[in-house]
């Protein structure tokens, strides 16, 4: 087997594995579409100490915050008046692009 044939065979194998992974991920999401994404708030975010309402979070991200873990406490459905604090873990739901939109919004640089 030549080097090019071997590379071609490995590429086809990699494509097959990627298709399997995508299929399993789509199946998992379709079984339970409400599994939230999560993102940690760090000091690098300009959104620290700002409320969900002041940031127009949903309007800017099309994502809904379902919870915030602050230390050992879990705030479920925190509402518009909660502020983001350093170390918070934000749990949110949305479509497939949600994680990228929220990450870009909370960390614009």
- Percent of the chain exceeding pLDDT 70 equals 94
**Structural tokens at position 35:** 């599994």
Average pLDDT, the chain: 91
Query: Is the pLDDT assigned to residue 31 strictly greater than 80?
Result: no
Angle, CA of 53, 103 and 58, to the nearest 5°: 30
Q: How far is 71 from 87, CA to CA, in rounded Å?
A: 8
Name the pLDDT band for 34 (thresholds 50, 70, 90). confident
CB atoms within 10 A of CB 68: 23
pLDDT in tens, 58-86: 999 999 999 999 999 999 999 999 999 99
pTM of structure: 0.72
Helix (H) or strand (E) holding 69: strand 64-70
Place of tokens 């975010």: 45
């Amino acid at each position: 087997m030549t080097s090019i044939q071997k590379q071609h065979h490995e590429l086809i194998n990699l494509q097959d594995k990627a298709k399997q992974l995508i299929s399993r991920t789509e199946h998992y999401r379709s079984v339970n579409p409400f599994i939230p994404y999560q993102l940690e708030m760090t000091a690098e975010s300009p959104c620290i100490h700002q409320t969900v309402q002041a940031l127009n979070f949903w309007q800017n991200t099309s994502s809904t915050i379902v919870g915030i873990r602050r230390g050992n406490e879990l705030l479920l459905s925190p509402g518009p008046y909660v502020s983001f604090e350093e170390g918070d873990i934000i749990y949110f739901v949305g479509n497939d692009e949600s994680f990228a939109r929220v990450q870009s919004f909370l960390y614009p640089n």
